[in-house]
Structure 1
Amino acid sequence: MIYPILRKAFFTMPPEKAHYFAMNRLKNICSLPGGRSIINRLCAHQDPKLKTKVFGLQFRNPVGLGAGFDKNARYLRELEALGFGSVEIGTVTPIGQPGNPQPRLFRLPADKALINRMGFNNDGAAAIRARLANWREKQDLQNGFIIGGNIGKNKITENEDAWKDYVICFQQLFDLVDYFTVNVSSPNTPGLRALQDKESLRKIFSEIENINQGRIRPKPVLLKIAPDLNEAQLEDILSLATEINLSGLVATNTTIARSGLTTDVAEVEAIGAGGLSGRPVKQKATQVMDYLVRRLPESIPVVASGGIFTPDDARMRLKAGARLVQVWTGFIYEGPGIAGKISKQLC
């Protein structure tokens, strides 16, 4: 009940500033004696019936937080307390980079949407590895809280060498995350989406799997795709997924489309380039998910992402064949209790 009031206050601040202000205040609360327990009781919902096994991992519930929210693995204890079953950190690149100039995150409240052109701003693989290692030392490994590593390439890396960046991140984070997601679908790194073509993906995944299969316990490796792919491109993804026995697909990332928005056209045009997320991407993301689910073998699960705000949104995706769901923009508009609310209604 209190979040709509807090949201009004947060929405008076620039979006990026509000994000870190809110998460740092949550961190302050969780650092107090009994703070995490209070947050957990208020926000999370625990039930053994929610346990979900996907790509060999046991999730405590199917509601995850998508990549980009905790880019640098700074808030894992707090996000765990909020009741998420999983969190994808990143996108992580080999070398830390500042991302695109600010402002680079914009709200469209009338559409319950965001536009971002962050540009893979992150501290780099080595720094994030150290932070994860510190968190792991204090973590109860029996609680089913799963960490995914969303990995990408540096802006300065040419596409022909992109596979090297993915390999570096994979090696750096291998023993500290539970699974990986290869991100070639962000619209905010120049040329990145070109890596969604079949041959580029084959190169990236073959190099990663050469290392992965040499480990005692290989990690699941997923691919996150854009909602803007045409049917031929989706067919290439399906063909490659079965050819290399991909661990799973995340459908979808943000869209570059701007159709059907309630927000004034001039305001949207003034914002400029970036990926659109939230309610407006729901239909397109669902269509892509449905297309994949109908054509993929059960051994290649789909994680649904894009426009998930309510328990009904999550339930519909899961009934349609997704095995897990991820929220992001829904967190901003619905508040920190979103994972608990969805989980409670899924029981």
Structure 2
Amino acid sequence: MSTTTRIDDLPLREELRGKSPYGAPQLDVPVRLNTNESPYPAPEDLVRRIAERVSEAARGLNRYPDRDAVVLRTRLADYLSRTAGLRLGPNRVWAANGSNEVLQQLLQAFGGPGRTALGFDPSYSMHALISRSTGTGWVSGPRTEEFAIDTHAAVAAIREHRPHVVFVCSPNNPTGTAVSPETVLALYEAAQEAARDRRGALFVVDEAYAEFSHRPSLLPLIEGRPTFVLTRTMSKAFGAAGLRLGYLAADAAVVDAVQLVRLPYHLSAITQATAHAALEFADTLLGYVEELKAERDRIVAELTALGCDVTESDANFVQFGRFADAQAVWRRLLDHGVLVRDNGVPGRLRVTTGTRAENDAFLDAVRAVMKEIAE
């Protein structure tokens, strides 16, 4: 007789029991605005360039790819130097399969059993999930009712818990709020002081949505701060969520450290070739970002006019509410053919900025749902 084995029947690590994998519903609906992807497909010129790059790479698939992706890291360093106000060399940049793998490698190198990471919830849930998956303890730091980081409260939490790794997400996901350089520096200094007996603490600023912000990048803050790391992704501003390419900028010693834990030849030749092509079209793709920023600001204004409580956003998404039953509103919007994200923030939902037509459909659905609720 066959029996069904449940995950709880397996010798799973205790800290993983009862947890759920990261993910968002992937439903076939007319308007899908729940995963912060770019709504714009790659332009045809870029598609052709990708095909050329991949064709060249395919001729050498019998060999391993460039193990350290030096040429790609050089291009990424050039992009950051040009757009974020700090001249970098490839020795200060590292790339991996999405920013999630970058975060995982950082926690493998600087976290682990007996060590603690601290972030400020609600924030990007993978910070906590990857921490736990690497055996790193997780501490949730405080936010204000407006989802900002209160500097004094955050510094107090760092002093109390003395974390080995600190995460700050700016602009923050799922709220869209940015963090000021002054607050970031105060938290960095507090983390180093609290860990002065163990060579300091790793301080990670997750800038996945930086290109959508009205504020300058925090990248210049890494200068002279050897444990300050800034992470980015090509999934958002480059419209390349399917590429899976993330990267970090930091002191060269941090790049040396993550290479101790990275898997051999972790970035395929095809991934590297595609990323090269996308970087060649950076200016074109950043033009789409400007369109999305304008649409995001329109969504904020329209939702506010409808009476929604809207969180100020520097990202390509908007958090809105407050609803007595956010899950019920999510389902009603889905009934109208619009999929948004229920991130579990009480009374609130999150919508990704889409095309103008998609945003119009979303706003029409919100109007209809609010009328239904009122009736």
TM tier, smaller: 0.3 to 0.5
Which of the pair is proportionally richer in strand?
A: 1
TM-score by length of 1: 0.34
For the pair shown, the structure with the greater C-alpha radius of gyration is 2
Point out which structure has higher relative CO (alpha carbons under 8 A, 6+ apart).
Answer: 2
TM-score by length of 2: 0.32
